[in-house]
Structure 1
Amino acid sequence: MMRRTMLLLLLILTQAAYANVAVDELNALLTPKATAQKQDPEIKDLSDNYYFVFIYRATCPHCHNFAPILNDFSETFHIKVRAYSLDNAPLDGFEASPLTPDLFQTFYVGGGYKPTVPALFLVNRHTLEAYAVLFGEASPYQLARRIHELKQHIEEKFHD
């Protein structure tokens, strides 16, 4: 009888120990981890010091293809976008602001670029200097790569 009681007690204690481990593991999975992700310095510099100027035409299929890519990129990396329309019509994810003659002069004529859409420029918030990122649509990878290359060029320009 004593042996049976000991085995029963041992079985109950063993089960309780396993149950606590399982509950602990379950709680660990359900509790969101509060680990702070370290932000890349290049991304932080972009979000703090730059914004995008996106020039589009609402009837342009390439603009429609590129708009969600730019929207996702800007939301992911917290980079503001100022969108300007050539035809004063909105594009999904962007409000319609007309491209004024002054802006056209600044972005296209001043840079020596043909008026192509979609067009994306990176503008320094402090100096208002604009850099052409791309003309036409691009994949997320192409956009990220082009911005990285442009940032390297800007850094080299100011560190020479």
Structure 2
Amino acid sequence: MLTRVGVLITLIDDIYDVYGTLDELEVFGNVLERWEINDMDQLPDYMKICFLATYNAVNEMGYDVLKEQGLLIIKYLKNLVELKRGDNPKSIQCDMHESGVSEEEARQHIKFLISETLKLMNEDRVAKSLFPQAFVESTMNVIRMAMSMYQKGDVFGVYQERDPKETVLSIIVNPIPI
């Protein structure tokens, strides 16, 4: 399940980084936030496909967990795929466009939003929860992984020139020299 969420986050990130215009991204963000299937009509076709895939996957995972464990997790999964990374130039551009601020002010605002979101997530992490602690920690690890992958730019773009086997080995298998 967490792998599916990771793939969805990556897909949405690519839409923000590569494909979307500022106007399209504003609508896409609003549609994701409202989570209404009928709002999908406002999107270009490629965003419709992404939204529908995300909507269906999140609802399917939520259904499976509700049926098997009696826990309602859809809103948490939805929030995971809505997260936008702070070093994303498109996020910064959107903030500049919406707020009329400089790039540095927008960058600082995005960093502030990430910091506040992380604080809330950490509060939720230690609060009494219906979810098993392993699920909570796994979810936090997805966020950590995504932040790590994108903190210094887009890790997929950085590694595109490398052999995929070498990349996987360097990330998962080979030890980090001390």
- What TM-score do you get using the length of structure 2 for normalisation? 0.24
Higher strand share: 1
Which protein is bigger by CA-based radius of gyration?
1
Name the structure with the higher helix share: 2
